[in-house]
A and B are shown apart, each in its own frame.
Chain A
């Protein structure tokens, strides 16, 4: 019994990792090209292909069903492209219609199949939500084979796809067949989606394309690194989701994987260096603090230039009144720590020689930035 559980876990983890690797790589391109929702449409549209493949062949061999799914997904993509080019229907409406209509046709076919006598149809509806626990050796082999094919295709035409994603017009001017490359890349995307249907199902497959790529995008500005990171994130989410759902009762694998990948996205959005929201907040706070300090220093300078002595002490109350941000105590203490001001007594502060120097420099910089230099007096 223990051995069986291990076998299942091994298959699920391997399958989910494969799915994460491939969808991370192809999803990166989809996200960069503004086609995040195309994956959603393709995965829904795959349903009638699965049903039709079963109806025509009577077989539930994964390769047959996956080919059917791929064909239907591919057709839906072509339909969306065709309709948006030939008519004035906007892209998003065309996507929504392709998604829901193909899915509806798939539903009709599925229910039609279910009414057929003595058909060995049980299990087709697992494609809706996926059923990772039912993955067997053969499924994983098929997934790995198709996945390797998709990644190979990506590697072979890497440079061309990079051009397609960032500057298709330049590619066309070099004489590259951009339209055919577009179709090829989309076909690889279809392949990546088909691989995941059995594990996470049609509804959640789009998350596996968008989320690892969106997370990876936060960490780097280089395409190669982004794709590798997205593959890593996808595989990590797949494995941890598979592991979690095998340890906890009644935790379906597909949704768990999606929650894992969502967590990775959240962490990336918050913590990624440079782009992360946390660092952005820290930067904004630091800038604000620096600017407040400079403002106080300049105010002190503005007071000092009207006195005979540069280190003439001034009341903090005056500085507070000059500062729109309110009390200047913290800013003054920070400036004192840098040796730019010094506290003369309980309520009065003065510029040090270094402080005078720094303030004069700041005032010059600001007056240059503001326009022609005046007599060097600091603006209030």
Chain B
């Protein structure tokens, strides 16, 4: 692997980690679509910042664009608070308007400079190694790595310092407000962080894929754990996996790196949806199947106990008639009996079934419970 490839992957991992950190709280607070709104709506901020600084990496541009992100959130809230539109409609009204403004600004005034909408929307990781940070003639590596590294540090610091407050606001916003944790301040700080991260990352992965990296890995981690620290860590690790895996996929197909990273995010999420232990689709299906057998055996045991010692016992406990009494398909009845025999709940006497002590206990327990 060449140094250039390593550098690209390093930046990709840093972007993924930076996005997963605030993304965790967006997922928990059900504000995932705000990341979509912010990552689009920062465009006019980027454009104005670019006109002023002529440098996509300048701190002033990042600050301006982040301000636009916070402005977006305030506009959405202002609109929502008039009670004339719902919150999701407010989001859907604000960000396309700001994005359109940005596109028009670019088309009208930036025709000749290096800034086009495709780049903002899609990003290009492959160009990252060409923009280097030089200090006194010394090559310190790609500048994007330093910028994203700084963002990772900033996000980590914020989450560490305000961990308790963020946790409380995520799980019980009402209590957080009652205890005087100033949820509004925290909310806007988080939105500012999301904006700063989105601005810093758009150059590398484009604004739409920022959404993939902010929402995908934390939502995947959410499927795997119930503990907040594990969810944050899981989001970070899954994001890094998507970054490295995505780079491999892009290399293989000779296609867009950012697109491949988003694809990997989707693959990991799909795997978690299907196979997450305990709550994946497969685990749930297996649990349901197991419950079906358990319930059927309880039914069988209760049925036999109910007729024990009655005149109809001979008829009711005949193996060949069971399916008719319990209204089961014959094949299903045979399997239930087979399983019950294996577990020592019933024994077969001729053509009749008889409960064992264990079977009787199960039946009594089922009826009582």
Q: Which residues of A contact B (CB under 8 A)?
A: 31, 34-37, 39-40, 44, 83, 86-90, 92-97, 99-112, 115, 125, 128-129, 203-204, 206-207, 209-211, 213-214, 217-218, 249-252, 254-256, 258-259, 262, 265, 269, 275, 277
Contact = CB atoms under 8 A, between A and B. Distances in A.
B273 A86 contact: yes
The 10 closest A-B pairs by CB, nearest first: A104-B262, A107-B259, A101-B266, A207-B96, A100-B212, A255-B100, A210-B92, A108-B259, A96-B215, A96-B32
Contacts of B261: 104
A150 B6 CA distance: 50
A255 B103 CA distance: 7
B46 interface: no
A112 B253 contact: yes
A87 B219 CA distance: 11
Interface stretch (B59-67, B117-125, B317-325): B117-125
A106 B117 contact: no
B101 A95 contact: no
A128 B84 contact: no
B260 to A, nearest CB: 5
Interface string B51-94: 00000000000000000000000000001001011101101110
A112 B100 contact: no
A106 B263 CA distance: 9
Most buried by A among B108, B118, B211, B279: B211
A221 to B, nearest CB: 13
Contact of A95 (B32, B103, B259): B32
Contact of B265 (A97, A125, A204, A206): A97
8 contacts: A88-B222, A100-B208, A104-B260, A207-B97, A214-B93, A254-B100, A258-B97, A262-B100
B263 A105 contact: yes
Contacts of B82: 269, 277
Nearest to A265: B93
A37 B91 contact: yes
B256 A111 contact: yes
A103 B122 CA distance: 10
Contacts of B266: 97, 101-102, 104-105
Contacts of B100: 204, 207, 254-256, 258-259, 262
Given A96-B33, A254-B100, A214 B263 contact: no
Task: Give the bracket for the number of chain B residues in contact with chain A.
Answer: 35 or more
B281 interface: yes
Contact of B96 (A92, A109, A203, A250): A203
Nearest to A207: B96
Interface of B: 27, 30-33, 35-36, 40, 79, 82, 84-86, 88-89, 91-93, 96-97, 99-101, 103-104, 107-108, 111, 117-118, 121-122, 208-209, 211-212, 214-216, 219, 222-223, 249-250, 253-256, 258-263, 265-266, 269, 273, 276, 279-281, 284
Given A36-B91, A40-B36, A259-B101, A92 B30 contact: yes
A36 B281 CA distance: 28
Contacts of B99: 203-204, 255, 258
Nearest to B261: A104
Nearest to A115: B254
Contact of A269 (B84, B249, B276): B84
Given A44-B208, A258-B100, A97 B219 contact: yes
B86 A34 contact: yes
Contacts of A44: 208
Contacts of A104: 208-209, 212, 258-263, 265-266
Contact of B215 (A100, A217, A275): A100
Contacts of B258: 104, 107
A252 B107 contact: yes
A207 B273 contact: no
Contacts of A217: 84-85
Contacts of A108: 249-250, 253, 255-256, 259-260, 263
Contacts of A40: 33, 36, 92
Given A34-B88, A110-B256, A96 B208 contact: no
B97 A125 contact: no
Most buried by B among A109, A218, A277: A109
Contacts of B208: 44, 99-100, 103-104, 203
Given A97-B215, A254-B103, 8 more contacts: A86-B281, A93-B30, A101-B262, A104-B262, A104-B265, A109-B255, A111-B259, A203-B99
Contacts of B30: 90, 92-93
Most buried by A among B100, B209, B260: B100
A269 to B, nearest CB: 6
Contacts of B211: 96, 99-100
Nearest to B272: A87
Given A115-B254, A204-B99, A90 B32 contact: yes
